[in-house]
Each structure stands twice: as C-alpha cells, then as structure tokens.
Amino acid sequence: MQDVRTKSLIHFHFIVFIFGFSSVMGALCSLDAIPLVIYRMVLASLGLAIYFALFHRSFFKLEKDLWGKVILGGIIIGIHWVTFFHAIKVAGVSLTLSMMATGAFITAMIEPLINRRKVLGYELLFGGLIALGVGMIFQAEFEHLYGISVALVSAFLSSVFTILNAQMVKKGRAITLSFYELIVGAVVGLVFVLFSGQYTLTAFELNQWDWLWILLIAWVCTSYAFNVSIKVMQHLSPFTIMLIINLEPVYGILLSLAVWGEEELMSIRFYVGFTIILGAILLNGIFKRQKQRA
C-alpha cells in the first residue's frame, strides 16, 4: 500500500508540474487568449470523448439535474482560461502565476459564505498576509497593473469553479463533468467569436510551433492530466493534494526562468511577496488540518 501511495505521490507531482508547464506553452503560442482557449477546449473534449468511447462508454452519461450547473461551470472555466492566458500574454508567466496562487485562499474565504459559517481568526490572519504579499507585488510591478488585475479575476473564477464542482462531484463523475464543461465552454467561445465581429479566420491561423503547444496543452495538460489526477487522488489525503497543487506556481515560475532566463526575472520585492502568499496558503492548510484532527 505504501508503494502505491509513493507512486501516486510522485505521479501527482508530475501532473502538477504539467499544469505549471501549460502556462509556459500558452506564452509560447502565438494565438490570442480566446482562440487558444477554444482550441484547447475542443481538442481536450475530443480527447476525452475518444477515451470514453474506447474504454468507458458509461462515462458519457450525465444526470439530468446536473445540466444547469454544468453549463454554468463550462462558462466559468472558459472565462477563467481566457483571463488566465490573456494575463500571461500581457504580464508574463511569473506575475500571472503569483496571482493564481491566491486562488486556494480565495476558495477558503468564499466557502464560509456559502456554508454560512463564521470566518475563523486564523483565516483572517492569513488573509491579511496574502493581502500584504499581493500589495508588495502590485508595488513592485505596478506597470503591469492591468495584467495583475486580470490574473486576480482569473484566480477568483477558478475558486468559484472549484466550489461549484465540489458540489456537483457528489452526484456525478468528475471526469464526465469536466468533459461536458469543456464542450459548453468551447460552444460559448465559438458563439462569442461568431457574433462579436472582433475575430476573423486569420486569428485562428497557427504558426510553425503552435500546433505542438496547443496539442500539448489540450491532450497532455488537460485530457491526460485530469484523468490521471483523479486516479492518483484516490491514494492521497486531501491535505497532501492541497500542498502539492500549491506548488504549481512554483514549478511554472521556475520553468519560465529556464525558458526565458533574465527576461522573466522579477524584482526582489516580487519574490518576497510571492513567498509570503505561498507561505500563508500552506500555513492555512496546516491549521485547517490540525483543526479537523482536533
């Protein structure tokens, strides 16, 4: 059993590393955010459909009472990815991922409102620390105010999506929910493109390496990573999962430094702010675990 857990632990670290790498590939891709997200959703849902058809045809079935929330979830995740990749285009990988790191704590702060419980003292303390970290990043990189703001919106949407899925997964299979949310997001994106008048076919033209980045994002970082992450989560505790997921921005920032070198370097104040954010999130998780044990 310990060997299974160890393998799952290593595998999940690899999956989170892949999630972090998706931000780098998004920056390398020449497409704007909306065409990129449409390609991602269409190809990722196609990959899952092939997997279902070959191995688990029952996965196509979705309970009727979940359709309303699935449609809402598809819209939210679509807008989340658009704002995420747009922030990367205008502010860079490191700044975007530093703001995305606040998503776990935003989720923790929204959850009491939904479940109608009071916010605990240590949650307010760590929330204040995160606000301090975000403030330091804003001061250090004020010229990227627009991109940072877009990334924060993306983090908020990610939190809402997480809470919504946490409710639905009690009634439906997670991978099935994801499959239909991807389809809904792709349809909404295509409808927007068709009726907005802001995009032409040239916006969807792919350059030399774009096919590679998009296929990796869609099939490796989405279809494959999501499917495998569900399996390995069966052998890991929620606390372990939370800690590893919070390493995604760290992996992404390190990868961006490896790819772009000095171009992606930020000021000392940025890295201090990011460390405060990440430390507060990890400490919040530790306090929650101790409280649950007590």
Domain spans of the chain, in order of start: 2-293
Asked if 249 contacts 256 with a C-beta cutoff of 8 angstroms, the reply is no
Predicted local confidence at residue 258, as pLDDT: 84
Predicted local confidence at residue 267, as pLDDT: 81
Cα–Cα distance measured from residue 126 to residue 240, given in angstroms and rounded to the nearest whole number: 19
pLDDT digits (tens, 9 = 90+) for 170-200: 788 888 988 999 999 999 999 998 888 788 8
Cα–Cα distance measured from residue 25 to residue 160, given in angstroms and rounded to the nearest whole number: 25
Q: pTM of the prediction?
A: 0.84
pLDDT digits (tens, 9 = 90+) for 99-122: 888 877 777 777 777 767 676 677
Residue 273: closest CA among 284, 281, 262: 281
| Element containing residue 46 per DSSP (H, E) | helix 33-55
Binned at pLDDT 50, 70 and 90, residue 167 comes out as confident
Structure tokens given for 51: 């997997």
Q: What are phi and psi of 277, to 5 degrees?
A: -60, -50
